Amino acid sequence: MNALEHQLDYPFADTLPEPGHALEVAPGVHWLRMPLPFALDHINLWLLRDEIDGSAGWTVVDCGITDEAIKGHWEQVFDTLLDGLPVLRVIVTHCHPDHLGLAHWLCEGGDKKRWNARLWMTLGEYMNGRVLAAGDGSNAGGPGAARHFARHGLTDDASLAQLRARHSYYPTLVPSMPSQYRRLREADTIAIGARRWRIVTGFGHSPEHCALHSEADGVLISGDMVLPRISTNVSVFDIEPEGNPLALYLASLGRYETMPPDTLVLPSHGKPFRGVRTRIAQLREHHDARLADVMAACAQAPRSAADIVPIMFKRKLDLHQLTFAMGEALAHLHLLWLDGRLARVVGDDGVFRFSV
């Protein structure tokens, strides 16, 4: 349990929608919750009453991974919760598998091909999803990921072998992508039913994440950019090995911390909450503390990302969690390195290490 949660207001307390069911959290905005087979064991999805070109229906925000159980839950939603109306569009906040995985299937109307809906995404997320779904690399595995983490101090042969073998990880969860989409951009305003939503892009967690903010109604669908219980993963991966995602993420938070404090935040993981400014302050304090820990460690001796992982993450990690922990340790090192506060050197063993 994160003690900082008690500083936030949870208007629905511990009430959670069961898979295949929904809870209305604002007029015309329904909360779905689907299981995930990871340590992070669920994702929140959103079903919004809509009308496009005079046709009544629904907009879906985010999808879940491609998985037969999740398909079954969605089929129950189609049969019992849509009032006989079609899905008119599918909005995906970003390209990670738990958000994008079933987009192709939802756009095609599920197993029964009930409708043909358009996918809406930002350009950066759509193109990255197309690349990864085609099997051209993966943050979570494959030869490139193994080489990347080996360069940053992961020396366990068994772990590296497992990483090399995970080359099909992303395509398994996102086996197909719609061949067409509609582009979302920063500050676009889209009408969904009677409500207008402004697109708020964010960076660092993914290439061009989009959140949806209805200022008039005080509702923010935050995706993964603002979560109530955990800090969003911000990682340096092989595709951008000199990246500075943490600087991008911290800058992006400024787009949310000016929102009214009573905004109802609908996150992708955890429970809906109020207190967005408090949560942004918590996230900034969290990363400031981790950066201080990293600086202190690197002042004692040169450190690789693998050396930093146990300093930042005190719990035991499985291989999947370790890849994200390595990426996040490296994100903190890179912010300090690219800001000139740390130096980076390559050892005789080929491993990058950082020092004051």
In a domain, 22, yes or no: yes
What is the predicted pLDDT for the residue at 137?
A: 64
In a domain, 327, yes or no: no
Q: What CATH number is given to the structural domain containing 181?
A: 3.60.15.10
Positive or negative torsion for Cα 101, 106, 112, 116? negative
pLDDT in tens, 210-265: 999 999 999 999 999 999 999 999 999 999 999 999 999 999 999 999 999 999 99
Average pLDDT for 115-137: 93
| Contact in structure between 174 and 64 (CB atoms under 8 Å) | no
| N-term to C-term CA, the chain | 34
| Contact in structure between 326 and 302 (CB atoms under 8 Å) | no
**Cα distance between residue 305 and residue 327, in whole Å:** 8
**Cα distance between residue 39 and residue 296, in whole Å:** 30
> Residue 136 carries which side chain, given as an amino acid letter?
D
Task: Provide the β-strand partners of residue 209.
Answer: 202
| Contact in structure between 48 and 214 (CB atoms under 8 Å) | no
**Cα distance between residue 89 and residue 48, in whole Å:** 10
- E-only strand ranges, 159-272: 182-184, 189-192, 195-202, 209-214, 219-223, 264-267
What is the predicted pLDDT for the residue at 193?
A: 93
- pLDDT band for 340, please (50, 70, 90 cuts): very high
Residue 138 in this model has a pLDDT that exceeds 80? no
What is the predicted pLDDT for the residue at 1?
A: 53
**Cα distance between residue 287 and residue 225, in whole Å:** 14
In a domain, 326, yes or no: no
In a domain, 176, yes or no: yes
> Residue 74 carries which side chain, given as an amino acid letter?
W
In a domain, 64, yes or no: yes
Closest by CA position to 309, among listed 320, 323, 292, 289: 323
Domain count for the chain: 1
**Cα distance between residue 354 and residue 356, in whole Å:** 7
pLDDT in tens, 177-223: 999 999 999 999 999 999 999 999 999 999 999 999 999 999 999 99
Residue 89 domain boundaries: 3-137+167-296
**Cα distance between residue 197 and residue 200, in whole Å:** 9
Q: Determine phi and psi for 137, rounding to 5 degrees.
A: 90, 165
Q: What is the DSSP string of 253-287?
A: HTTTTTS-TT-EEEESSS--EE-HHHHHHHHHHHH
pLDDT in tens, 39-93: 899 999 999 999 999 999 999 999 999 999 999 999 999 999 999 999 999 999 9
Give the DSSP letter of residue 6.
G
pTM, full prediction: 0.96
Contact residues for 135 (Cβ-Cβ < 8 A; gap 6+): 167, 168, 170, 171
What is the predicted pLDDT for the residue at 5?
A: 79
**Cα distance between residue 55 and residue 10, in whole Å:** 35
54-87: buried (b, 16+ CB within 10 Å) or exposed (e) per residue?
Answer: eeebbbbbbbbbbbeebbebbeebbeeeeeeebb
Walk across the sheet containing 189-192 and list its strands. 189-192, 195-202, 209-214, 219-223, 264-267, 273-274
In a domain, 200, yes or no: yes
Residue 23 in this model has a pLDDT that exceeds 90? yes
Residue 176 in this model has a pLDDT that exceeds 80? yes
> Residue 326 carries which side chain, given as an amino acid letter?
M
In a domain, 152, yes or no: no
Burial class of residue 220, CB neighbours in 10 A (0-12, 13-18, 19+): buried
- For the chain, the residue count is 356
In a domain, 13, yes or no: yes
Contact residues for 62 (Cβ-Cβ < 8 A; gap 6+): 43, 44, 45, 46, 91, 92, 93, 98, 99, 223, 268
* Count of CA atoms in the C-beta half-sphere (13 A) of 3: 1
